[in-house]
Structure 1
C-alpha cells in the first residue's frame, strides 16, 4: 500500500517546472511568456542559450526517471511503475506549482522510458537524434519518437500496464504538439540551428 504513495510523489516531482526554475535562477525571461511560450528546453535554448537549455533538459528528464528508480528500488509492481511514470509526465504537462501551465513532455517522457528500461529509453533517444539530424526539426523528431515509443516498449518489455502507459503519454505528447504539426504541414516549422 505504501508503494502507491509513489504516484502522488511522481506527480509532485513532475510538477517542478525545470524551465521556469532555471530561467528564474539565471534571470532569463519567463519561458511561459516569451518565445514559443512553452516551458521546455527548446524554448529555453532560444531565450537563454545552450547552458540553460541543457540544465532544463536534464531537470525534465530526471523528474521522469527518479520516481521510476525509486519504485524499482522498492520492488514496486509493474502497475505502480506505469502509474508513477504517467503521473510524473502529467505533472510536467499540468504542474500544480505553476498554474497547470506545463511543457510538452518530451524530456520527461524520455526519463520515464529510461526508468522502464535503458533499452527502450535509448531506442527513443536514438530515434529522436536520427530524425533531428536529417530533418533539423526538434518537434518532428519528438513526434516520430513518441509514435514509436509504444512499439519499443511492447517489443522489449511487453505487458499491458507499461504499453498502455506509453500509449497514453505518446498520445498526449502528440496532442501537445498540434500547433507544431500544423506548422510542419505548412512548411513553417523552425529548424534546429536556425
Structure 2
C-alpha cells in the first residue's frame, strides 16, 4: 500500500472514529432507559444526518473497507507481530459489520420507512432466534472498534518514536484503550439485551 493511501486510510479512520465516539456515547445513554437513548440520538442526528456529513461518512465507510482489504491482500498478516494481526482481524470484521449494518440502516430508513432508533437494534437483540446472531454480532463490533483503535494507536506511537524505553508506556496506553472498550461493550450490551429493564 502506498504511503499516500495509508495516510488517507488513517484520515478517513479518524473521521469515522469521531462519528463512533458520538454513536457509542449515544448508546451509553441507554443505561438510563430507551427514552434517554432516543432523546440523545434525535439531538445527534441533526449533526450526522445533515446530507453533507452523511455523504462524507458513507464515503469514509466505503473507503475504509476497500483500502483496508487492499492493505490485507497486499501485505498479508501471516508472521506479523501480534498487534498487526489484531489490527487486521478487527479491521476485517469491521468491514463486514459496516457493510451489513449501513445497508440495514439505510434499508430500514428508505425502503421499510422505519425509525432506526433504539428499538431497531434492541428488538433483534431480544427476539429469539434473531438474538443468537445479533448479540455476538453487536458485541464483536464494539470489541473490534476498540481493538482496531488500540492497535492503530500502538503502531502510530511506534512509528513516531520507536524508543524501547517508552515501549512499556505504549503497551499500557494500548491496554488502557482495550480495558475501556471492554467496560463500554459490557455496559452497552446489558442495556440493549434487556438485562437492566424489559424491552
TM-score range, shorter-chain basis?
0.3 to 0.5
Q: TM-score, normalised by structure 1?
A: 0.35
**Whose RCO is larger (CA < 8 A, sep 6+)?**
2
Compare CA radii of gyration and give the structure with the larger one: 2
Structure richer in helix, relative to its length: 2
Q: TM-score, normalised by structure 2?
A: 0.35
